[in-house]
Amino acid sequence: MSATGASTNATAAKERLYSQLASSLARTTRNVQRTADLCELLQMDLHALRIFAALDAAK
């Protein structure tokens, strides 16, 4: 294999790996956002539980 061919293969491999990294980071970003959304929902549910527990205790 010539030096140019090896360089082309190395460049293609590097570009493929950067593309995989970009995809992985995009998935991670979506998953972090989803986790944040779920945490917000959990906080709202816990707040509602505290209210219902207080109302029940006040009976």
Structural domain containing residue 53? 1-58
> In the prediction, which pLDDT does 6 show?
80
Residue with tokens 């989803």: 34
- Per 3-state DSSP, what percentage of the chain is helix, strand, and coil (rounded to 5)? 95, 0, 5
Query: What would the pLDDT profile of 1-58 be if each residue is shown by its tens digit?
Result: 577 778 899 999 999 999 999 999 999 999 999 999 999 999 999 999 999 999 999 9
pLDDT (0 to 100) of residue 59: 87
pTM score: 0.70
The total domain count for the chain is 1
pLDDT at position 1, please? Answer: 58
Helix (H, G, I), strand (E, B) or coil at 59: coil
